[in-house]
Amino acid sequence: MTPGHDDKRQWSDERDPSDPDAADQFAAHVLPTKGEPTRVVLDGRCPGCHGVMTSVHTARGPLTQAEASERIPPAKREGATPETHSYRVIATRCGCGYEHLEAPENELGCGAPIALAVRWPKGKPDDVKLFTVTASAFERREERALQETLAAQLSHVRNAAESWRTGLGGFLAVLAVVFFVEGATSFDDVASRWHWPLAVLLLASAASALYGAYRAIRAAYGTPADEYVPGRGLVWQALRNQLPATTPRHIHDYDSVGAWQDALAGQSVTDLRHAKVATVLAAMCFAAAAAVTWLAPDPGGSERLVIEARTGSVCGKVVTERGDVLVVDGSREVALRDVVSVKPVPTCPSQ
């Protein structure tokens, strides 16, 4: 055990009145120091058993900023307010890791309650101050639950993302079938001036579904270091810059692996949100495309003309006249003087 640790101390969740101020026994780190802080790490010695301990907490606690700031004794507030500073009240217990005498089952540490208020100027998380405050047993329990969610948040988000990825994959498969198999026939069923809107809607739907699937996959599995952007050229650099700033290459930007994992979870949530919006958009475009095929007018003039001539018969849709020649569908020609009869039919006979 660490030198100075009181191995003989019995477990107790009562505070020893002779304990020195806990705030003097601890140092706090707010991480990451760049960008939005996500974690507060407490480093120090337990005020009860004097064991060395480290505990990791979320940067936001159950208390509001105003409530947290009011826990600090008025004499020590130094004019700081929730507008100028960020606050976090951490209500925890000894975390020395030693199994003290008479400790409840599965409980490590001597049980000494520790309640600290952490304060740092907004945007300057390396200028942290600590204060001893009071906290209830309920707050200590909440804090422990919060610590557990911190450990599990990444896997929770990723599990959710995986379900979305599966759902989006199915949706994409349906879209592909409709797009390639049904697409051609549905185009024939509507008047030609509706072809462009229909094509745009179907393409938009497919594009959003693809984008959504990509973001859902990224939410579920993250972005690997740089393995699929190996080059050093300008194009590769530009591509690399498009990747989120949470790949393993960026760990050092977050000051700690834990803070990087928080950022990963945050990135996963963002990816998942994009995936959801893209899915809704894809479904809406798809519904609009379906509405077009149902409601848009028929092509009209769907009947064909059979032209019987002495040289044979020709069937087609568009018949124009050029001099003394009839041109069928822009290619086949029949001399006018050879024409015997012209009659409309619903479909051309197969030739």
Q: Minimum distance between the CB of residue 8 and Zn ion, rounded to whole angstroms?
A: 10
Asked if 94 touches Zn ion (CB under 5 A), the answer is yes
Q: How far is the CB of 100 from Zn ion (least distance, A)?
A: 6
Q: How far is the CB of 50 from Zn ion (least distance, A)?
A: 7
Binding segment toward Zn ion, per CB under 5 A, in 51-59, 169-177, 183-191, 256-264: 51-59
Of 15, 40, 18, 44, the C-alpha closest to 29 is 40
* Rounded distance between C-alpha atoms, residue 307 and residue 330, angstroms: 15
Size of the site for Zn ion (CB under 5 A): 9
Q: Does 11 bind Zn ion (CB under 5 A)?
A: no
Distance CA 32, CA 264 (A): 13
Strand partners, 117: 89, 131
**Residue corresponding to tokens 């304060």:** 119
Residue tagged 């780190």 (tokens): 29
Tell whether residue 51 is a contact of Zn ion (CB under 5 A). yes
Pick the piece of the chain touching Zn ion (CB under 5 A) from 92-100, 159-167, 227-235, 302-310.
92-100
Minimum CB–partner distance for residue 133 and Zn ion (Å): 18
Q: Which stretch binds Zn ion (CB under 5 A): 50-58, 128-136, 147-155, 320-328?
A: 50-58
The minimum distance between CB 54 and Zn ion, in angstroms, equals 13
If binding is defined by CB under 5 A, does position 49 make contact with Zn ion? yes
- DSSP β-bridge partners for residue 52: 45
Whether 68 and 89 have beta carbons less than 8 Å apart is answered as: yes
- Closest listed residue to residue 278, CA positions, set 229, 218, 221: 218
Question: Contact letters (x/-) for Zn ion, 97-126, by CB under 5 A?
Answer: -x-----------x-x--------------
Contacts of 200 (CB under 8 A, 6+ apart): none
**Least distance (Å) from Zn ion to the CB of residue 98?**
4
**Residue whose CB is less far from Zn ion, 110 or 326:** 110
How far are the Cα atoms of 81, 228, 233, 236, 303 from residue 239, in angstroms, in the given order? 43, 10, 10, 5, 53
Q: Across the chain, which distance is largest between two alpha carbons, in Å?
A: 121
Q: Which is nearer to Zn ion, 130 or 259 (CB)?
A: 130
Q: Cβ closer to Zn ion: 48 or 212?
A: 48
In the list 40, 46, 278, 285, the residue contacting Zn ion (rule: CB under 5 A) is 46
- Beta carbon nearer to Zn ion, 24 or 36: 24
Q: How far apart are CB 11 and Zn ion at their closest, in Å?
A: 9
22 interacts with Zn ion by CB under 5 A: no
Q: Taking contact as CB under 5 A, which single stretch among the options 24-32, 47-55, 158-166, 235-243 is the one that binds Zn ion?
A: 47-55
Q: Is the Cβ–Cβ distance between 239 and 299 less than 8 Å? A: no
For residue 41, the minimal CB distance to Zn ion (Å) is 18
Q: Which of 22, 91, 96, 314 binds Zn ion (CB under 5 A)?
A: 96
Q: What are the DSSP E strand ranges found in the chain?
A: 26-31, 39-45, 52-58, 85-93, 113-121, 129-132, 304-309, 312-316, 319-322, 325-328, 332-335, 339-345
How far is Cα 90 from Cα 95, in angstroms, rounded to an integer? 13
The one among 32, 48, 61, 125 contacting Zn ion by CB under 5 A: 48
Radius of gyration of the chain measured on its C-alpha atoms: 36
3-state secondary structure of 216: helix
| Piece of 11-19, 41-49, 199-207, 309-317 that binds Zn ion (CB under 5 A) | 41-49
Q: Interface with Zn ion by CB under 5 A: which residues?
A: 46, 48-49, 51, 94, 96, 98, 110, 112
